[in-house]
Amino acid sequence: MIYSNDHRPSHVHVIGSEAVFKFSCPRGPVTLWKNFGFNFAEVNSIQRWLVRILASLCEGWEEIHGDT
């Protein structure tokens, strides 16, 4: 989830438990910023998935916030 009223740096909230990952566009890295309940394996899996969709994350952030 990228919130429209959120702040920089560019980041995404992963809901389930909750984790926040920062990302640098357009090539990364995707870095865990905060984690509230995901275990190590889940964090690694989520991070790999976010790396695969980084271009979409960057587009979404730019659409909502104007730049990365």
| Model pLDDT for residues 38-60, shown as the tens digit of each residue | 999 999 999 999 999 999 999 99
Task: Examine the pLDDT at 5 and tell me if it is beyond 60.
Answer: yes
Alpha helices in 1-68 (DSSP H): 40-52, 54-65
Please state, in angstroms and rounded to a whole number, the distance separating the CA atoms of residues 24 and 15: 20
Average pLDDT of the residues in 4-31: 94
- Provide the pLDDT for residue 46: 98
- pLDDT of residue 68 exceeding 60: no
Report residue 48 as tokens. Answer: 């790999």
- Cβ 37 vs Cβ 60: under 8 Å: no
DSSP state of 36: S
Distance, in Å, from the CA atom of 49 to the CA atom of 26, rounded to the nearest integer, reads 15
pTM of the model: 0.91
